[in-house]
């Protein structure tokens, strides 16, 4: 079965720095990988999608990389702000479902 | 454009009662997914439905749990004879196409079920 691992510990960074979150997966070769943001008490919100033939995708201060050889995706938030504090989830797209990682909790300290 | 609507937001049931969770997908979306989330855990897939059809229910317990997505009206996740272990947040998500596509999921804000 698919196994998706994200940074096991919460990540605390100083405002203005770049946050880097990791998503590793095994037993699967997904055609797509997505990143979501989840705030407490709310449902996840889609941020970015990257395809297997794309090495990198950017959207404003967000950047995602996808290394199918390493089976890893990195999610970067540059010039981080306190409002970026949330839990970030990666998701692999399967046949009939999306497989989610457990998420990484990010806190940006002013 | 209304997003995915789930109700109720909070539901308290006593052991042995039934819980009914409702989900109205985004307009134009015919694919609905139900996920369960426990504190400090990820989203666990339960069931994937299209209008009037269950496509994949591999994540849903065989007993006490059922789901439907009728031609008219919201999708319903039904839990019979609830037990304390059913306490969790249940999220519904919708998509205009199947999981093999590149469309993201649009989530509701969940129903938090507490079994006392």
Q: How far B82 CA lies from chain A's nearest CA (Å)? A: 22
**Residue A44: strand, helix, or coil:** coil
Taking the Cβ of residue A41 and every Cβ of chain B, the question of whether any pair is shorter than 8 Å is answered with yes
B107–A43: do the CB atoms touch at under 8 Å? yes
Distance between CA atoms of A87 and A100, rounded to whole angstroms? 12
Lookup result for tokens 């919708």:
B94
Predicted local distance difference test score (pLDDT) of residue A97: 79
Backbone angles phi, psi at B86, to 5 degrees: -80, -10
Predicted local distance difference test score (pLDDT) of residue B3: 93
Predicted local distance difference test score (pLDDT) of residue B40: 75
Predicted local distance difference test score (pLDDT) of residue A78: 97
Taking the Cβ of residue B49 and every Cβ of chain A, the question of whether any pair is shorter than 8 Å is answered with no
Predicted local distance difference test score (pLDDT) of residue B90: 98
Taking the Cβ of residue A89 and every Cβ of chain B, the question of whether any pair is shorter than 8 Å is answered with yes
B102–A98: do the CB atoms touch at under 8 Å? no
Backbone angles phi, psi at B15, to 5 degrees: -50, 135
Predicted local distance difference test score (pLDDT) of residue B99: 52
Taking the Cβ of residue B40 and every Cβ of chain A, the question of whether any pair is shorter than 8 Å is answered with yes
The secondary structure of B35-80 as a DSSP string is EEE-TTS-EEEEEEEETTEEEE-TTS-SSSEEEE--SSS-EEEEE-
Neighbouring-strand partners of residue B64: none
B100 contacts on A by Cβ (under 8 Å): 31, 93, 95
Residues of chain B with pLDDT under 70: 1, 98-101
Taking the Cβ of residue B56 and every Cβ of chain A, the question of whether any pair is shorter than 8 Å is answered with yes
Predicted local distance difference test score (pLDDT) of residue A1: 64
**What does each of the 110 residues of chain A score in pLDDT, given as a tens digit?**
668 888 878 999 999 999 999 999 987 778 889 999 999 999 999 999 999 889 899 999 999 999 989 999 999 999 999 999 999 999 998 777 788 998 999 999 99
Contact B46, B34 (CB under 8 A): yes
Contact B107, A43 (CB under 8 A): yes
């Amino acid at each position: 079965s698919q196994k998706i691992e994200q940074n096991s510990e919460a990540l605390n960074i100083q405002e203005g720095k770049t946050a880097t979150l990791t998503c590793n997966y095994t037993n699967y070769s997904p055609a797509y990988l997505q990143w979501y943001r989840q705030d407490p008490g709310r449902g996840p919100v889609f941020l970015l999608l990257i395809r297997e033939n794309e090495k990198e995708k950017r959207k404003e201060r967000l950047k995602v990389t996808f290394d199918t050889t390493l089976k890893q995706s990195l999610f970067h938030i540059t010039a981080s702000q306190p409002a970026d504090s949330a839990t970030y989830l990666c998701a692999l797209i399967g046949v009939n479902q999306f497989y989610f990682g457990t998420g990484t909790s990010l806190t940006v300290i002013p | 454009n209304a997003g995915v609507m789930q109700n109720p937001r909070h539901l308290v049931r006593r052991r042995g009662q039934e819980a009914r969770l409702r989900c109205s997908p985004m307009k134009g979306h015919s694919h609905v997914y139900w996920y369960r989330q426990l504190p400090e855990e990820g989203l666990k897939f339960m069931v994937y439905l299209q209008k009037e059809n269950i496509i994949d229910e591999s994540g849903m317990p065989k007993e006490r749990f059922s789901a439907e997505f009728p031609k008219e009206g919201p999708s319903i996740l039904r839990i019979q004879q609830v037990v304390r272990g059913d306490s969790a947040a249940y999220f519904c998500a919708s998509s205009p196409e199947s999981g093999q596509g590149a469309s993201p999921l649009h989530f509701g804000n969940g129903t938090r079920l507490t079994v006392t």
